Structure 1
Amino acid sequence: MASETGAHRDAYELVLDAIDQGDYRPGDRLVESELADRFGVSRTPIREALQRLETQGVLARDGRSLVVASLDHDQLGELYVVRSELEGLAARLAAQHAAPEEIRILKDMVQRDRQLMGKPEALSRANKRFHRQLHMASHNRYLIQQLDMVHRSMALLATTSFAAEGRDMTALDEHEAIVAAIEARDGPTADEAARLHISQAYETRLKVEAESADG
């Protein structure tokens, strides 16, 4: 029974990770039999994983098919409002609770990520790793859980804001400012820097989507 439960959990994580990594984009159809073959699991845990993801809003119905959901303009705004609040709190708590080793890791990540300038997809993956490390440095499991949910929804965005001209350098400068405030143990400044970072990311995404609509 334990192995069956594990298979169901693993199927859910496998499908979710594939969406998060961009293997399946908004609007892509997910076929139960194809997923079972791809991941080497039976169709039952895949079916339950798809049902769970539909309940969570990650998947949506298109006729009889399940497709990766997309976010409309209002949902995008709502997501960024929540993200701004939670990321600010995570940065503020990290300034209080992060171990010196965790701060050094964050600093190293920013420096390494500068080698990825001009590579938006690679930077997008690095950005997720940076924010995950920042969340862990908050040392608040309930906050981390909420941020995991928010970032799961971020996977429903078809493009990365790092594709916008100049966003890569600006975003990394913003990451550096967040880490500097955490290292200084300045919670309010870390909170403010994180909120500014999310605000700038939201504004950039709105510009990207507007330009895409014009095209």
Structure 2
Amino acid sequence: MSNEKPAQKDAYDLILEAIDVGVYKPGDRLVESELAERFGVSRTPIREALQRLETQSLLARDGRSLIVASLDHNQLAELYVVRSELEGLAARLAARHAAVEEVRVMEQMIAADRKLISNPSALARANRRFHRQIHLASHNRYLVQQLDLVYRSMALMATTSLAAEGRGETAMVEHEAIVSAIKAREEQAAYDALKAHISNAFIERLTQDSEASKAL
């Protein structure tokens, strides 16, 4: 029998995942001792992870404390520009390189995700899995790496555009159009469909932010 133990997530991944799922939101203070206790690791790897996250601009300084960073309007716009182009390229390459089995998995994801429309947080997690499947289907490791960086920054968004009324159902229709183009090997159509999908998500997010600012 093998004595190998399953690989454990390191402190960096644990903190990043906690930010991604909303355990820690923009503005929340991160304390070494509390993180070490929560994740059951020593303070040294926690300290190193915090330094790495700060270097990547996922954490910011508030006096002597480290807090989860937030994105201002310009940063959000810049992020969506880069995301749109990279994801569009991923869809284009997926239309060229995706295996039949990979396309089938995308179709199965859409069918499963439709059952989550009434649960925005679960749908948001499923949405990330769907997009990553497209990234992987591009069969370009360097593109996947860059998109991973983009999605790390997206973890700084406190809300999901999929929470907006009707957005979940619309997003599923858009996903179907993307996969249909990939399946048909229509590279330009796949690129255009994914860019339109990201554009619509950005419009929804700007609308959400505008309404939130009115409520203040």
Q: Pick the TM interval, shorter chain.
A: over 0.9
Partner in structure 1 of residue 202 of structure 2: 202
Secondary structure of 2:157 counterpart: coil
* Counterpart for residue 45 of structure 1: 45
Query: What's the counterpart of residue 180 of structure 2?
Result: 180
Tell me what 1:145 maps to.
Answer: 145
1:52-63 alignment runs, 5 A limit: 52-63=52-63
3-state SS, counterpart of residue 66 of structure 2: strand
| 1:119 Cα deviation after fit | 1.2
What is the aligned partner in structure 2 of residue 76 from structure 1?
76
Specify the alignment match of 1:111 in structure 2: 111
- Counterpart CA distance in 2 for 1:120 and 1:17 is 18
1:121 equivalent in structure 2: 121
Shift in Å, 1:156: 0.3
Secondary structure in 2 matching 1:104: helix
**Structure 1 stretch 201-210 or stretch 18-27: which is displaced more?**
18-27
> Deviations along 1:21-58, whole A, 9 cap, x unmatched?
11111011111011111111110110010001001000
Q: What secondary structure is seen at the aligned counterpart in 2 of 1:74?
A: helix
Distance 1:177 1:51 in 2: 41
Deviation of residue 93 (structure 1)? Answer: 0.4
Find the residue that maps to 2:10 and give its secondary structure.
Answer: helix
Query: Deviation digits for residues 44-92 of structure 1, max 9, x if unmatched?
Result: 1100100010010000001111010000000000000000000000000
**Structure 2 counterpart of 1:212, which letter?**
A
Deviation at 1:14, TM superposition (A): 1.0
1:182 is displaced (CA, Å) by 0.4
* Map of 2:89 onto structure 1: 89
Structure 2 runs not aligned, ≥5 long: 1-6
Structure 2 counterpart of 1:144, which letter? V
TM, length-normalised to structure 2:
0.95
Cα distance between partner residues in 2 of 1:43 and 1:204:
40
The aligned amino acid for 1:25 is: K
Matched residue of 1:208: which SS?
Answer: helix
Aligned residue identity for 1:199: S
Cross-structure match for 1:13: 13
Report the equivalent of 1:3. Answer: none
Give distance in 2, aligned partners of 1:22 and 1:104.
31
Structure 2 match to 1:27 = 27
Give the percent of matched residue pairs that are identical in Structure 1 and Structure 2.
68
After TM superposition, give the deviation of residue 195 of structure 1 in Å.
Answer: 0.2
Aligned mates of 1:184, 1:23 — CA distance in 2: 40
Matched residue type, 2:90 = A
Runs of 4+ in 1 over 3 A off after TM superposition: none
Q: CA RMSD in A?
A: 1.2
Whichever residue aligns with residue 49 of structure 2, its letter is A
Question: Does 2:164 correspond to 1:164?
Answer: yes
Instruction: Find the aligned partners of 1:144 and 1:105 in 2 and give their Cα distance.
Output: 18
TM-score (ref. length: structure 1): 0.95
